[in-house]
């Protein structure tokens, strides 16, 4: 079995846990607070997917500090419009409102408190990859 789990770095893992829970509906599963008194590692779940969060240390510069996008996390949800309304009401920085995509998904984009980009999408129709310009290997 192979599973890919994004490991996102946050200067303030406590704040990220709170934000991701309230804004995007992730459920906290594990929190490890080190001897220094702050969260070094945490794990959250959304449906069947999981993310890890960690403290990167002093040399780290998050996307917000860098002033640029460094990663995009793509999450499929059951109700993208409802998810969008929750995120918006919770104060998420919305970069793109829900929009139907040519590849058969409805998607919106938000940025979290440290600058990571999140794409939330819902499949809406079957579209052959060739119909929107993709090739299949």
CA distance 81 to 98: 7
- Other Cβ atoms less than 10 A from the Cβ of 39: the count is 20
The pLDDT tens digits of the residues spanning 32-85 come to 998 888 888 999 999 889 999 998 877 777 778 777 778 899 999 999 999 999
Please report the pLDDT score of residue 60 as a whole number: 73
Residue 23: its H or E element = helix 13-24
DSSP string computed for 35-64: TTSSEEEEEEEETTEEEEEE---TT---HH
CA distance 45 to 47: 6
* Options 3.90.650.10, 2.60.40.10, 3.10.180.10, 3.40.50.300; CATH of 7-132: 3.10.180.10
Please report the pLDDT score of residue 84 as a whole number: 98
């Amino acid at each position: 079995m192979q599973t890919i789990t994004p490991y996102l770095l946050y200067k303030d893992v406590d704040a990220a846990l709170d934000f991701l829970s309230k804004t995007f509906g992730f459920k906290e599963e594990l929190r490890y607070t080190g001897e220094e008194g702050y969260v070094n590692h945490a794990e959250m779940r959304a449906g069947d997917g999981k993310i890890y969060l960690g403290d990167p240390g002093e040399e780290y510069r998050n996307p917000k500090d860098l002033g640029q996008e460094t990663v995009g996390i793509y999450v499929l949800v059951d109700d993208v419009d409802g998810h969008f309304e929750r995120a918006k009401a919770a104060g998420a920085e919305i970069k793109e409102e829900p929009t139907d995509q040519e590849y058969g998904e409805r998607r919106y984009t938000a940025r979290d408190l440290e600058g990571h980009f999140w794409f939330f999408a819902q499949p809406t129709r079957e579209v052959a990859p060739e119909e929107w310009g993709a090739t299949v290997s």
